[in-house]
Chain A
């Protein structure tokens, strides 16, 4: 019989995982929906940001907050630059998979060349430690990451829902020509979305560096589950990916707690298939 503490701790782990999935997938779901770009390089950007964090915090002694302040605009620019190339060469939705996959390969080789193929662990002194509340353990790093992920998803959702920018984006998506005739700058909006997506990879990379051990080959570690979360949550939906991420994370964690953990990877795709079967218009 599974104990309440074990179940509670596992659910807590699932919540943390779900928030990470949402953080890593937020930018990707936005570009997929609004720019028609399936950006696999999103995960390469995350890992590049993680390695830069490792370098700046671990080797140069920077505070992670300073790293965030520097990397966020830098990766915003990187996202814009990638989108400019996609515009320049008129890369369509399916071709974007191949193009960005190529970028992933280049990024992996670059990371391996610069930081070696070996595992690297950032031994930072910030966000360490664990709080115990009611027999459950709350690791500081995971809690901060989760709060930031929720803030990012809710913030983007609010911006899309309540500001002119969000309305303009939706209009641009529905009918770019008519939107343009009303003065909506489609091209500039696309750069804004791509930049925001790039900026989100900087934050994601920062937390990946703080919470995980790095290796260039881990580029696709979260790809499958983040794709599943993006599809389950509905493309372009910040709250959707947060909810789907939490659903997947908690489902995986409970599976690990009550059955063989080897079954956990089956959960996201089973859920995805079931939901697509009963609710195909979700995607």
Chain B
């Protein structure tokens, strides 16, 4: 027995067990201490609070502040309060990269929350990868570029949105549309969708009568409008971000021409919905604060709080839409992973999310496909009476709303 109590190296089994436990405890120490620490859990991230993307950055800020406040009122995470360390990336991917470095190495945050916009998310992803941190992010537009295995997109556009979204648009339009003009900004996340849409239109029997690319930041849309009018398509598919859709519509209006049917990839929601020229405009969305999507207490509370905050911040379209929905989902995904794994361990959370996905106000999102993308959950929305309503697919369509096609 005594012999059996000795290890081959002359150490007693009890001592070996004690040593082993000590090593295991030491290995687990950082996450155990942070998970059970007494201070707040610090989640660091950046948003475009200034610069050209600030119009949308403010939406994500409102959502994050509401989520954290609500979370803390309910007791926080793992019994600790949660603190959001938010920095302004000025809409610049290079600044974003530096700030995420700072959040990890100087501010020593426990977890990361991704920024808004594809370029900045890509920058943050590189930093997260270098430090082995999980990165949940809001609205990343080019899934094929997201190679990091611990990134988790809250925006469920699927791995091939250029095909899946375009097919959904064509499904929505039905067979009335025979010709299309594809006009696109060269802004990367809208440009690749417009390029990918072209073969889909061809496959679906819709003839392309015009294809135009313009530079992001173009102010003068008169000549582009003249060419669209000249082509006279049944359907205008615009790869537009921000205000570009409005700018083209205003230029077309000056030529006394209105598109019969028109789609915009990433329009700023307020100006297009509130402008008379935006009537019947189509776009795609993950979420709108409308039934049936907002029919649960959490979504209802969120929608109400967002509208109040948006009005206070003078946001012209004070309803939760795709950006706000994706933002809220990102927070839900991150906190779900913490709760379910009962830890702040990045690898454990990533493994859990990859295997199980997460429930969000958008729906259940999965991350088990290529580049951690799951199903394309995007819906088609249309401006009707100054508000975006969901018109396709039918199971999530806004009650009373039906697609207007000319």
Interface residues of A (CB under 8 A from B): 3, 5-6, 9-10, 12-14, 16-17, 108-109, 112, 115-121, 130, 132, 137, 139, 142, 212-213, 215-217, 221-222, 249, 252-254, 256-257, 260-262, 264-265
Contacts and interface: CB of A to CB of B under 8 A. Distances in A.
A117 B218 CA distance: 19
Given A119-B271, A121-B271, A112 B218 contact: no
B205 interface: no
Given A116-B58, A261-B224, A212 B230 contact: no
Nearest to B253: A130
Nearest to B226: A9
Contacts of B268: 118-119
A252 B54 CA distance: 29
B308 interface: no
Contact of B54 (A132, A217, A256): A217
B307 to A, nearest CB: 15
B210 to A, nearest CB: 11
A33 B213 CA distance: 38
Q: Which of the listed residues A130, A212, A217, A222 has the most CB atoms from chain B within 10 Å of its own CB?
A: A217
Given A9-B255, A120-B316, A132-B256, A215 B50 contact: no
Interface in B258-299: 268, 270-271, 274-275
A197 B215 CA distance: 31
27 contacts: A3-B230, A6-B227, A9-B222, A9-B226, A9-B255, A16-B222, A112-B50, A117-B50, A117-B58, A118-B315, A119-B246, A121-B275, A130-B254, A130-B255, A213-B247, A215-B55, A217-B50, A217-B51, A217-B54, A217-B91, A221-B219, A252-B223, A253-B222, A254-B223, A260-B212, A261-B218, A264-B220
Interface in B22-64: 49-52, 54-55, 57-58
Interface in B226-252: 226-227, 230, 242-243, 246-247, 251
A265 B222 contact: no
B219 A13 contact: no
Q: Which 3 A-B pairs have the closest CB atoms?
A: A13-B222, A117-B54, A256-B223
A257 B228 CA distance: 10
A171 B313 CA distance: 52
B54 A112 contact: yes
A265 B213 CA distance: 12
Nearest to B274: A121
A116 B315 contact: yes
B19 interface: no
A262 B214 contact: yes
Interface in B165-220: 186, 212-215, 217-220
B314 interface: yes
B258 to A, nearest CB: 13
Given A116-B315, A119-B55, A262-B186, A213 B243 contact: yes
Nearest to A141: B254
A119 B269 CA distance: 10
Given A109-B50, A117-B54, A137-B256, A221 B217 contact: yes
Contact of A212 (B57, B219, B227): B219
